[in-house]
Amino acid sequence: MDEKTNPSFLVDTETDIDSMVAVLESDTPPAPNLKNLTKEHTVIETNSYKNTLKTREATLSGVDDLLISRGARLVVFLPIIVVFLYGLAQSYRGADPDWWDGSVRQLFFELSFSKSVYLLSLVIMVADLLLLFVLHYLLWVTRRIFQIETNEITSTGVAFESAHGYSEMRAVIEGASNQLNLTTSLMVLATFLLGIALNFSIDTEGVPVLIALSTGALLSGHGVYLVSERPRFNTVKPWGMLDSFSPPIHPALLNKPFTDVIRAHVDPMLAVRFSKYVSSFNTDLQKGVNLSDLQEYLLQMLDMFRSGVIDEDDFHNALTSVVDSKTIDQIINHPELGEETLDRLLMHARNQCAPFFRLNDRLRMHLGNPSNSGVWFDVDMENLTLGQANLFAFVLNQSDERQDLILRVQTPDFKPNECVYRLRADPLEIASLGDVPEYEKLAKSMIGSRIVWQTLIPSSMGDATVTVRLEDSLGNLISGKVLTAQVRPDLFTRLRMTTGAIFMIGAALAIISPLIPFVGRLLGL
């Protein structure tokens, strides 16, 4: 086996984030007093401006959670109500219903039923536009804060804009802005056309065309909103930007499993802040423990604690083996980067990489059987996927000697079609661990396992299969697994896309319908 594939021979280089933190922590040369005073004044003004923006963002985000993107979801339902009102008004365009005449008509300024309904539609559309403008302002504030914090990191000498994931993160933010701009533009057009139409009598020639074009713009705008799923992100909470980030790169072989998986899904800005914060406890570590051990152990114990595997006393007792108790309280109770933020990181990683956590649970159940020996091998991936699929393979050597193994991933339905990993698995006898707590056995087993993380890109829709073979150095099969998956969107996504497509088709019909008589007259039909 090549030494480059052996984890014990891997060069322990710093990651991009660790390099950034090192620069952030380094002392910069003192500047001349005059410039220093000017810089301090600028920093104070920038911080004051940023705090003002954060206050506004918190208020707008609360409105968004209550009325717009969550809660009542008025942006979704208001256009549907308007479409219903359009149809109702069109049905009674020729004559008013019997119950409308009399006192009811007087309440609406002697207007016809059709025009009154159109006026009500106009009011609802204006309300919808106000909500969209709130989203616009919220997005602008978030983008502004993001740019300010980026400039703060860059000003220290860190090439933050070149970090892995930054450009993708900016693309997601810009994409959300473009989608919102298109939706708002179409809704403004629909409102404008309806407003012009209501300046004339319903029976006026050309008004039906304006109504039809308004209907088409309305359906198109709402269809774009439904089809283009906009991620929700903000800087109100430390984890608020997680949904705007997807990992462009991740390790193939996990040496620190929990740290590697969670760090891959943390946006660069939070990663810098969290790594810098954790590095401040370097002097509080127990003898023989480094910062990477602290991060790995903390995340693993917190996952077991949240899963109900260990209780709070076991959680604190486990952490005291790597750091003193005072520091534990300081980490957990930090107002921004404490327990809540760590929980969010774990939840986010679970949603994005559920196979890894399922394999972790199965490894824990495997360790509960004392008769287990030899090589334990298990794999997992998403059963339902539309984009990339995450394949994880765990190999735990419980034999008496080191094993040189070959892991083959073969599939005709994903790309790459074949991957080969050469692994050197050191022996780890569970019985040799003695009477240590179960969480300690699991922690040591995770570190002692060879864990492979392979991303697979589907090449077609429908049913797909993946074959994973574990072989010895001579190519003899030790164990094999066959996984089946369905490459298609989930039920909610299909419903959203179908509804959006219906709206787009309706928009096309609404725009074409008034043009058919005009074209017919031109053709003499």
| 198-212 average pLDDT score | 80
Cα–Cα distance between 249 and 516 in angstroms, integer?
A: 53
Summarize pLDDT for 321-331 with one digit per residue, the tens.
888 877 888 88
Pairing of β 384-385 and β 477-487: parallel
313 in a structural domain: yes
**C-alpha distances out from residue 259 to 102, 156, 284, 303, 522, Å:** 73, 26, 20, 12, 70
493 in a structural domain: no
| Bigger pLDDT: 206 vs 267 | 267
**Contact indicator for 358, 380 with CB cutoff of 8 Å:** yes
**Contact indicator for 193, 214 with CB cutoff of 8 Å:** yes
| DSSP, res 389 | E
pLDDT band at 22 (very low <50, low <70, confident <90, very high): very low
Alpha helix ranges (H) inside 229-284: 257-264, 268-279
| 203-210 average pLDDT score | 79
508 in a structural domain: no
- Tokens representing 61 are 């985000």
Q: Within this chain, do residues 262 and 121 fall inside the same structural domain, yes or no?
A: no
Cα–Cα distance between 32 and 14 in angstroms, integer?
A: 33
Summarize pLDDT for 384-396 with one digit per residue, the tens.
888 889 999 999 9
| Bigger pLDDT: 489 vs 482 | 482
Q: Within this chain, do residues 168 and 65 fall inside the same structural domain, yes or no?
A: yes
Q: Within this chain, do residues 139 and 174 fall inside the same structural domain, yes or no?
A: yes
Which residue type occupies 99?
A: W
Q: Within this chain, do residues 41 and 100 fall inside the same structural domain, yes or no?
A: yes
The pLDDT of residue 111: 76
pLDDT band at 125 (very low <50, low <70, confident <90, very high): very high
Q: Tell me the average pLDDT of the chain.
A: 83
Sign of CA dihedral 303, 309, 311, 316: negative
Cα–Cα distance between 142 and 180 in angstroms, integer?
A: 14
7 in a structural domain: no
Q: Within this chain, do residues 332 and 362 fall inside the same structural domain, yes or no?
A: no
Count of structural domains, the chain: 3
Q: Within this chain, do residues 75 and 154 fall inside the same structural domain, yes or no?
A: yes
Q: Is 71 left (phi over 0), alpha (psi -120 to 50) or beta?
A: left
The pLDDT of residue 115: 84
pLDDT band at 19 (very low <50, low <70, confident <90, very high): very low
| Bigger pLDDT: 307 vs 105 | 307
The pLDDT of residue 258: 92
pLDDT band at 13 (very low <50, low <70, confident <90, very high): very low
Considering 176, 207, 227, which residue would you say is the last residue of a domain? 227
Q: Within this chain, do residues 164 and 273 fall inside the same structural domain, yes or no?
A: no
pLDDT band at 3 (very low <50, low <70, confident <90, very high): very low
Q: Within this chain, do residues 83 and 163 fall inside the same structural domain, yes or no?
A: yes
507 in a structural domain: no
Its domain, for residue 266, covers 257-347
Q: Is 424 strand, coil or helix?
A: strand
Q: Within this chain, do residues 211 and 96 fall inside the same structural domain, yes or no?
A: yes
Cα–Cα distance between 44 and 187 in angstroms, integer?
A: 41
pLDDT at position 109 over 60: yes
What CATH number corresponds to the domain at position 376?
A: 2.60.40.10
435 in a structural domain: yes
pLDDT band at 134 (very low <50, low <70, confident <90, very high): very high
517 in a structural domain: no
Summarize pLDDT for 207-234 with one digit per residue, the tens.
888 888 899 999 999 888 888 877 788 8
**C-alpha distances out from residue 457 to 106, 139, 484, Å:** 64, 31, 14
Q: Is 109 strand, coil or helix?
A: coil
Which residues lie closer than 8 Å to 58 by C-beta, 6 or more apart?
Answer: 236
Cα–Cα distance between 221 and 227 in angstroms, integer?
A: 10
Summarize pLDDT for 483-494 with one digit per residue, the tens.
999 998 888 888
Cα–Cα distance between 244 and 173 in angstroms, integer?
A: 7
Summarize pLDDT for 47-100 with one digit per residue, the tens.
888 889 999 999 999 999 999 888 888 998 999 999 889 888 887 776 777 777
Q: Is 313 strand, coil or helix?
A: helix
Range of lowest pLDDT (35-39, 55-59, 179-183, 303-307): 35-39
CA angle 329, 331, 334 (to 5 degrees): 95
Q: How far apart are the first and last CA of the chain?
A: 81
Considering 227, 244, 279, which residue would you say is the last residue of a domain? 227
Q: Within this chain, do residues 389 and 335 fall inside the same structural domain, yes or no?
A: no
3 in a structural domain: no
The pLDDT of residue 306: 87
Q: Within this chain, do residues 468 and 386 fall inside the same structural domain, yes or no?
A: yes
Residue 395, number of CB atoms within 10 A of its CB: 22
Q: Within this chain, do residues 44 and 126 fall inside the same structural domain, yes or no?
A: yes
